[in-house]
């Protein structure tokens, strides 16, 4: 170590290691959260697009918001890199100007942003997958005449008649075709109405915004920590 003004060096040679570890963890954890969010919601989006292909782009919202997490981590990583100062050479002797104080602040900022992005990605992936399947369940146009037909195959005639009788009981014994303003048989059997899919989509957007806010809180805090961690040693 080098001694400045009779005190032990505050800018050790290993200080940049902590700073660059903060950058690496920020990028790695942030993009891992982005990947988890995409992986969690992507299969449900593709599966539901089989029945409702026109809703595929609308249901891509969880994937889009998951990839924003990678942008957060990239921005914080670039800011941290900008605060890591290079050694200064005086009379052929290299002097480190990057302080231990700054390196610890940058390491903490990287963890702060990376971990919150990871948590946010987990929340977006889990909620996005559930909401997309819920939207499909309430989507009247995505189902045929039989609400139970599709992935399980066609049902036999006797089972269909039994379910039709059950649906008539829910409508007071009247067939649904006599009420043009009422819900379709398949949607009524699922307990929804014609506006259910839109209401669920609004709830999904609000939930994903608050899940994304988790990463935003960490990003803002990380930027503040980086700014507070500016301290460099003076070269003698």
Q: Which two tokens stand for residue 204?
A: 């999904």
Structural domain contains residue 80:
yes
Does residue 185 contact residue 167 with C-beta atoms inside 8 Å?
yes
Structural domain contains residue 73:
yes
Distance CA 222, CA 224 (A): 5
Structural domain contains residue 102:
yes
Number of domains in the chain: 1
Run means of pLDDT, 10 residues per run, the chain, 236 residues = 50 87 96 94 86 83 93 96 83 78 93 96 93 80 48 41 50 50 50 68 91 95 90 71
Q: 94 is in which domain, residue-wise?
A: 15-140+211-228
In degrees, to the nearest 5, what angle opens at C-alpha 50 toward C-alphas 46 and 51?
A: 125
Structural domain contains residue 176:
no
Structural domain contains residue 47:
yes
Listed in sequence order, the residues at least 6 apart from 144 whose beta carbon sits closer than 8 Å to its beta carbon are 150, 186
| DSSP β-bridge partners for residue 93 | 90
The sign of the torsion formed by the CA atoms of 22, 24, 26, 29 equals negative
Structural domain contains residue 50:
yes
Q: pTM of the full predicted structure?
A: 0.72
Q: Which two tokens stand for residue 216?
A: 């935003």
| DSSP β-bridge partners for residue 94 | 89
DSSP state of 98: B
The CATH number given to whatever domain includes residue 116 is: 1.20.120.610
Q: Which of 213, 66, 196 is nearest to 126 (CA)?
A: 66
Structural domain contains residue 153:
no
Q: Which two tokens stand for residue 28?
A: 């790695």
Distance CA 36, CA 31 (A): 8
Q: Which two tokens stand for residue 117?
A: 């992005």
């Amino acid at each position: 170590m080098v001694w400045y003004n009779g005190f032990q060096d505050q800018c050790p040679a290993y200080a940049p290691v902590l700073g660059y570890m903060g950058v690496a963890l920020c990028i790695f954890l942030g993009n891992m959260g982005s990947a988890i969010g995409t992986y969690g919601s992507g299969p449900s989006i593709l599966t539901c697009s089989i029945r409702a292909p026109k809703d595929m782009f609308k249901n891509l919202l969880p994937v889009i918001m998951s990839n924003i997490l990678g942008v957060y981590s990239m921005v914080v990583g670039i800011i941290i890199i900008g605060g890591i100062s290079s050694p200064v050479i005086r009379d052929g002797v290299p002097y480190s100007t990057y302080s231990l104080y700054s390196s610890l602040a940058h390491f903490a900022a990287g963890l702060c942003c990376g971990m919150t992005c990871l948590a946010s990605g987990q929340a977006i992936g889990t909620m996005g997958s559930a909401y997309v399947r819920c939207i499909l369940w309430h989507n009247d146009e995505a189902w045929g005449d039989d609400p139970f037909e599709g992935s399980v195959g066609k049902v036999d005639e006797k089972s269909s008649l039994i379910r039709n009788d059950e649906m008539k009981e829910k409508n007071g014994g009247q067939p649904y075709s006599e009420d043009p303003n009422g819900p379709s048989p398949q949607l009524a059997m699922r307990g929804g109405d014609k506006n259910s899919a839109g209401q669920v989509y609004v709830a999904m957007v609000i939930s994903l915004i608050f899940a994304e806010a988790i990463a935003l809180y960490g990003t803002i805090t990380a930027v503040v920590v980086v700014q507070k961690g500016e301290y460099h040693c003076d070269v003698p």
